Amino acid sequence: MSAAMDRAMMAMSIKEEDLPVEIPNRPEYCSKENNALSMIDRVLNPKCQNVAHLIVDLPRKWGKAGRIRGVVLSNESFQFFFKTEHDLEEIMDKGVQSFNEWAVVMERWVEKEPPEFLQFVPLWVQIRELPLNHYRSQTIWDIGDVLGVVKEIAFDETKNQSHPYVRVKVIFNVARPLRKAKMVNLPDGEQKVVHFFYEQIKKRCYNCKRLNHEKDICPLLVKESQEMAAIRRAKSMAAKREANLVLRPSDPLYGVLKEEQVGVNPLTGRPKIDPAVLEDMRQYLVANTGDELLVKHERLRSSIAEVEADPIAQKIILRMEARPLVSQNLDKEKGKLFDFETGAQAKECRGEDKLIRAAINQGQSDMVEYGSDDLRAKLESLKSRRAFTRSTASFTAYGSGLDEAGPSRVTVGKKKLGRDMSKDSG
């Protein structure tokens, strides 16, 4: 395809309107019936949970290998298809599941997913060290409500309790941290700390207590590390600026001149005022001239301000730079330019430049020999230039009728070579 055709196709594709694909409302396009016996799942830590392995391992763990089909939807979500309603409900009743020791969120398929879809998991939580005088279901409900929506409380006041805790089932938001304890204010003004233990939850971040990352990459620790690094960097820069200060409290010029007047010029990398000039200013301020110190300060400020208004005076007086020598020889000490990026192009043009210069030099020599007004000299010069161009072209071009290559890429014709040899022999 030609370049013109490519450009035409590109122009058409740029101007082309990007229309969406229309999916017909027909039974053969719809999979709602297949999705009816399925559930959608999401891993909470994709970096540690391979979804492709999960859809094989979890059915085997449940004892339903071959009866559940898994489909990967993304790097963190997947779908399980069941053959019977019983198997689907049995798995949903198992509560929160884990793979590679990290939790997995599971919800039954719905046609229209709500905004909070795959955001909650049912958890059984053990609450320990409840207040002795408030061991009632309503107290347990209020405390469990801190963790999530309480759905069930496993508590019976009429039976023996052989464990030092009570259990509540809550709908937990996986974006929130797993609290380890909570302070409870009692009616008599006392405070009591209750502790939470989460069943079937294995790994979590041991810094922020969330379920979607490890401690090493905890955003809170990363942010804290970045803030600490910024503080260290600021302290280092402040110390560096302090070390590079020209004017210190013990300096006679301190308070007379500003640091930005005597610091390093960021454009040139050289001091704005030469150290020798600064030393002369210090000697002037400490010298006993009979003038008051405030008068010296004001006189020095005004002098510096006057010089700073003139760029040339700044260079000569403050920085003690000599005026540059202005040479009328434009090619004085001129050197070669080396550009390795365009070296190939320069090499190609160098041969043509040599031919042109050689022809010009030949014409100039002829003009000197015969005179600038001699018509014969001009004609002879023109002929010589043409002959020189043809001879040099034969060294670089491969013409028809030449079939033998000589040394240094010079082509030699067989007939011409024979004539030359016959002349030499004669």
Give the per-residue pLDDT at 120: 94
Q: Which two tokens stand for residue 295?
A: 């008068």
- Indicate whether 79 belongs to any domain: yes
Give the per-residue pLDDT at 203: 93
Domain residues for the domain of 410 are 352-417
d(CA 312, CA 261): 16
CB-CB contact of 153 with 140 (8 Å): yes
pLDDT exceeds cutoff 50 at 403? no
Chain centroid to CA 393: 55
Residue 198 shares a structural domain with residue 254? no
* CATH number for 39: 3.30.70.330
Give the per-residue pLDDT at 129: 94
Residue type, 18: D
Residue 369 shares a structural domain with residue 400? yes
Give CA separation, 242 vs 236, 249, 257, in Å. 10, 12, 17
Q: Give the residue from 213, 232, 262 where a domain finishes.
A: 213
The torsion region of residue 160 among left (phi > 0), alpha (psi -120 to 50) and beta comes to beta
Residue 103 shares a structural domain with residue 126? no
Residue 368 shares a structural domain with residue 296? no
Q: pTM higher than 0.85, yes or no?
A: no
Calculate ∠ Cα 120-155-94, nearest 5°. Answer: 40
Give the per-residue pLDDT at 37: 94
Residue 36 shares a structural domain with residue 76? yes
d(CA 254, CA 278): 11
Q: Which residues of 354-388 are buried (b: 16+ CB within 10 A; e: fewer)?
A: eeeeebeeebeebeeebeeeeeebbeebeeebeee
- Indicate whether 293 belongs to any domain: yes
Helix H or strand E segment including 405: strand 404-405
- Indicate whether 239 belongs to any domain: no
Give the per-residue pLDDT at 105: 95
Q: Give the residue from 318, 337, 369 where a domain finishes.
A: 318
Strand partners, 69: 81
Q: Give the residue from 213, 239, 267 where a domain finishes.
A: 213
245 vs 221: which has the higher pLDDT: 221
What is the mean predicted confidence (pLDDT) over 347-360?
Answer: 59
Label residue 182 exposed, middle or buried (CB < 10 Å: 0-12, 13-18, 19+).
middle
* CATH number for 184: 3.30.70
Give the per-residue pLDDT at 244: 74
- Indicate whether 52 belongs to any domain: yes
- Indicate whether 4 belongs to any domain: no
- Indicate whether 333 belongs to any domain: no
pLDDT-derived band at 240, boundaries 50, 70, 90: confident
Total tally of structural domains belonging to the chain: 4
Residue 87 shares a structural domain with residue 57? yes
Residue 304 shares a structural domain with residue 256? yes
The beta strands (E) that lie in 96-221 are given as 97-99, 102-108, 120-128, 149-154, 165-173, 181-185, 191-198
Helix (H, G, I), strand (E, B) or coil at 214: coil
Residue 82 shares a structural domain with residue 126? no
Residue 191 shares a structural domain with residue 266? no
